[in-house]
Amino acid sequence: MRLLPGRLELYVLNRTMVSVAGALAIIAAVILLIDFVDVSRNVGGRADAGFVVLLWLTLLKAPSTILTLLPFAFLFGTLAAFVGLNRRSELIAMRAAGVSAWRFILPAAAAAFMVGALTVAVLNPMAAWMNVKFEQARTAVMDDYLANAPKETWLRQTDDKSQVVIRARGHDQVDGVVRLKTVSMFIYRVEADGGLAFSRRVEAAEARLFPGYWKLTDVREATPGAGSVRSETLTIPSTLDDQAAIERFTTPEAIAFWRLPATIAGTEKAGFSALAYRLRLQQLLATPILFSAMSVLAAAFSLRLMRLGGLPALAGSGVVLGFAFFFFNQMCIALGRAEIIPAMLAAWAPPLLALLSGLTLLCYTEDG
């Protein structure tokens, strides 16, 4: 059994990847245009930002959306490549020579799998990093507007001796330092039996997170049964680092793949539910299967011989099925977030179902 692809497989693989790259370029161009309009409306309409700044914000924001829609690049690209081969009768010649469809479909599916693995391991962390930079740049541009429209933020940190619940009216990051505005800290003592006893409450105009501690300014501190005490500054130990704190402010989709296990552990240690992060981790792990499934599904819908007719309708059915799969995937994610189905099932069921559907259709259509 030959493991390495031959010239025929490499030819089909090359045509497929070129077509996928073209589909990706079209999708990326559309996303950049939509994101530029969105950034212009939300940022340019509320702050003094020029064209260059808006374009830079768009370039920072777009990669996350592009990666979300990358499966469609494999669906449309593979579909276009095989339909093109079919229209030029190249598939007819291959199959007439006794070449099984599996010989040129499996290399394309394997390439899609490897691109999916690369996306998860390398491109996802890059997109997450750019998303953080986008939020920082957007905050810097809209500083005056956001100061008048603060957003409440909640954090929790815990260790063996205490637990601190933090509420802030706003947050940003200055020179790499996380800053909370109008802060209330509710500090609890961990009892011998594991219970919590309220210890004190601290109010501050601002809190900055440094390695191992919070630095508070313009502080008022109160304990049960005693009056409040004012001070200019106060430090409180912290178990959070700047990256962990930023991740609490963002959605699971904005956290890099390699940071998700630590985020899950830290979130559960702090007493919060890590379901959303677990679901995101399982989605990323299933991404290579998803890309392969899109390639196999697209190939299966484009192998019908031209002389039999109905190829455009069959290819169109593949596109419709791709969109149906997208909505099914979103429905499973929603059910997973609502804890109606397990996170692993919500993440893995759609790509596996798409892959099995494509393989089943190939078994019915392939005769060589």
3-state secondary structure 213-254: EEEEEEEEEECCCCCCEEEEEEEEECCCCHHHHHHHHCCHHH
In this structure, are 123 and 20 located in the same domain?
yes
Instruction: Count CA atoms within 13 Å of residue 15 on its CB side.
Output: 19
Domain presence at residue 23: yes
In this structure, are 49 and 106 located in the same domain?
yes
Domain presence at residue 255: no
In this structure, are 18 and 138 located in the same domain?
yes
Task: Answer yes or no: is pLDDT of 307 > 50.
Answer: no
In this structure, are 128 and 14 located in the same domain?
yes
Task: Answer yes or no: is pLDDT of 312 > 80.
Answer: no
Mean pLDDT across 301-318: 61
In this structure, are 197 and 227 located in the same domain?
yes
Mean pLDDT across 122-139: 85
In this structure, are 106 and 170 located in the same domain?
no
In this structure, are 166 and 228 located in the same domain?
yes
The domain that holds 195 is classified in CATH as 2.60.450.10
Task: Answer yes or no: is pLDDT of 1 > 50.
Answer: no
Percent of the chain at pLDDT > 70 equals: 84
Which of 43-57, 277-291, 307-321 comes out lowest in average pLDDT? 307-321
Do residues 152 and 167 make contact, with C-beta atoms less than 8 angstroms apart? yes
Helix (H, G, I), strand (E, B) or coil at 318: helix
User: Of 280, 293, 289, 292, nearest to 346 (Cα)?
Assistant: 280
Domain presence at residue 316: yes
Which of 14-18, 26-30, 104-108, 287-291 comes out lowest in average pLDDT? 104-108
Q: How confident is the model at residue 174 (pLDDT cuts 50, 70, 90)?
A: low
- How distant is the alpha carbon of residue 195 from its chain centre? 37
Domain presence at residue 153: no
Helix (H, G, I), strand (E, B) or coil at 241: coil
Among residues 190, 211, 238, the one where a domain terminates is 238
Residue 181: in which H helix or E strand, if any?
strand 177-190
The predicted pLDDT at position 147 comes to 53
Which DSSP symbol is given to 143? H
Among residues 216, 238, 260, the one where a domain terminates is 238
Which of 137-146, 148-157, 243-252, 340-349 comes out lowest in average pLDDT? 243-252
Do residues 166 and 155 make contact, with C-beta atoms less than 8 angstroms apart? yes
28-64 pLDDT per residue, tens = 999 999 988 888 887 766 666 778 888 888 888 888 8
In this structure, are 58 and 11 located in the same domain?
yes
Among residues 178, 210, 238, the one where a domain terminates is 238
Helix (H, G, I), strand (E, B) or coil at 50: coil
User: Of 203, 148, 187, nearest to 170 (Cα)?
Assistant: 148
Q: Rg (Cα) of the chain, in Å, rounded? A: 26
Bridge partners of 18? none
In this structure, are 287 and 138 located in the same domain?
yes
Domain presence at residue 148: no
Q: How confident is the model at residue 78 (pLDDT cuts 50, 70, 90)?
A: confident
The predicted pLDDT at position 149 comes to 52
Do residues 39 and 98 make contact, with C-beta atoms less than 8 angstroms apart? no
In this structure, are 204 and 300 located in the same domain?
no
Domain presence at residue 250: no
Task: Compute CA distances 134 → 59, 88, 107, 140, 270, whole Å.
Answer: 9, 45, 37, 10, 27
In this structure, are 179 and 53 located in the same domain?
no
Domain presence at residue 342: yes
Task: Answer yes or no: is pLDDT of 145 > 80.
Answer: no
Q: How confident is the model at residue 18 (pLDDT cuts 50, 70, 90)?
A: very high
**Which residue type is seen at 139?**
T
> Helices (DSSP H) in the chain: which residue ranges?
7-39, 51-68, 70-87, 90-96, 101-118, 124-141, 143-147, 242-249, 260-269, 275-285, 287-300, 311-337, 343-365
**CA-CA distance, 366 to 47, in Å (whole number)?**
59
Domain presence at residue 313: yes
In this structure, are 110 and 60 located in the same domain?
yes
Number of domains in the chain: 2
**What domain range includes position 301?**
7-142+277-365
Task: Answer yes or no: is pLDDT of 286 > 80.
Answer: yes
